[in-house]
Amino acid sequence: MEQTDVSYQIAVGQAIATVRKSRKVSQSLLALKVKLSTPKLVAIEQGQAAFNLQNVQKIATALGIETADLLQIAERMKVQILEQE
């Protein structure tokens, strides 16, 4: 996997965690809402598991945010990650 792909995977996970925490939603409740196991959601948030767009859409919907807005947050985080490398 290319470094930018890994950076994007990490950034999407960080964006999900940031929005989830700001909405005061637990990982287990979010996982239940989107029909993922809690360990899988945790791995996604930590950038350690691959995800597909359908999962990102479900997560965004469950968090009450547009998918595009969640991905914009992730893109900003990716820039920060790449700047730190």
Q: What is the pLDDT of residues 57-66, one digit of tens each?
A: 999 999 999 9
pLDDT at 4: 55
Write out pLDDT tens, residues 69-85. Answer: 999 999 999 988 777 76
Task: Share the mean pLDDT of the chain.
Answer: 92
Give the CA dihedral 60, 23, 44, 8, nearest 10 degrees.
70
d(CA 84, CA 66): 28
The reported pLDDT for the residue numbered 3 is 55
In which residue are the tokens 């996982």 written? Answer: 31
Amino acid at site 68: A
pLDDT at 1 exceeding the cut of 70: no
**In this predicted model, which residue has the larger pLDDT, 22 or 82?**
22
What are the sequence ranges of the domains in the chain? 3-80
pLDDT of 84 reads 77
Given phi > 0 = left and psi -120 to 50 = alpha, else beta, which region is 35?
left
Class for domain 3-80, per CATH? mainly alpha
